Amino acid sequence: NNTATYGGGIFCLSNSSPTINNNNISNNTIPNTGGPRGGGGIYCWNSSPFITNNTISNNTATGAGGGIVCYGSGSSPSITNNTISNNSDGGIMCSGSSPTISNNTISNNTTSASGGGIYCGGGSPIITNNTISNNTASSSGGGIYCYVNSSPIISNNIISNNTGGGIQCNSNSNPAITNNTISNNTNSGGIACGS
């Protein structure tokens, strides 16, 4: 139930590498102050925290990354074994960053834009062994949205029942998509690739 401009629950500043383990990070809010703000649950600014075994739920942002934001080329967090659910403005946003996102349950997150489960804008995130399901994006990429020269590795995930499609790739993004189960996604189907 915390409120902040960035990182409603936790804000990791430049060059920090905290271990964030076994917490319940919920019901935090980034208020609408006239511009996009993110990281309702956790905001990583050019930092590389270890985020493991947490429940990150029911957080709200007014721009992107209701659950977690990873921002900047110096940001390479490890996001593992978390439940990231029911966040508003998406589950995870990666902007110019290269996190490792593995073994998480990312579900029932919503956004009025793109990337209900995960948004990748630049950088080279590794997205593996996650269950990404029942997320909603009003625009595109209900499960995963790849944008602006991002090159994620997307492997061994279950990507299902997302509204806005399973995976959407636009603006010179170059994902490697291997060994995933992609099923029952609506509005753009399983995988949609644009220019």
Tens-level pLDDT at each residue, the chain (195 residues)? 999 988 999 999 998 999 999 999 999 999 876 555 689 999 999 999 999 999 999 999 977 789 999 998 888 999 999 999 999 999 999 999 999 999 999 999 999 999 999 999 988 999 999 999 999 999 889 999 999 889 999 999 999 999 999 999 988 889 999 999 999 999 989 999 887
Virtual torsion, Cα 165, 101, 180, 114, nearest 10 deg: 10
DSSP state of 169: E
Whole-model pTM: value is 0.95
φ and ψ of 87, to 5 deg: -95, 145
The end-to-end CA distance of the chain, in Å, is 41
